[in-house]
Amino acid sequence: MRKIPVIFDVDTGIDDALSLFYAAQSDKLDILGVMASHGNTSLENTLRNTLNVLKLCGREDIPVGEGAEKPLVAKQV
């Protein structure tokens, strides 16, 4: 069976952490990479959370990129 290629764009809090955790364990998905950006917290926190989730899953082989620190168009709330 061919795996489905995916790229995740996350602001890793509890919801994205769980999604990433389940996806990383799936034999149906080929996770090509993960982009972490700011969300309800700073980019520094979401990036650290993302790396920790992947480490917990034993999937440190998945590349992780640093996304935007703040909104590109709208004002940050």
SS3 7: strand
The residues pairing with 33 across neighbouring beta strands, listed in sequence order, are 7
pTM: 0.88
Distances in Å between the alpha carbon of 52 and those of 15, 21, 73? 14, 10, 29
pLDDT category, 68, cuts 50, 70, 90? confident
Tens digits of per-residue pLDDT, 39-59? Answer: 888 999 999 999 999 999 999
SS3 57: coil
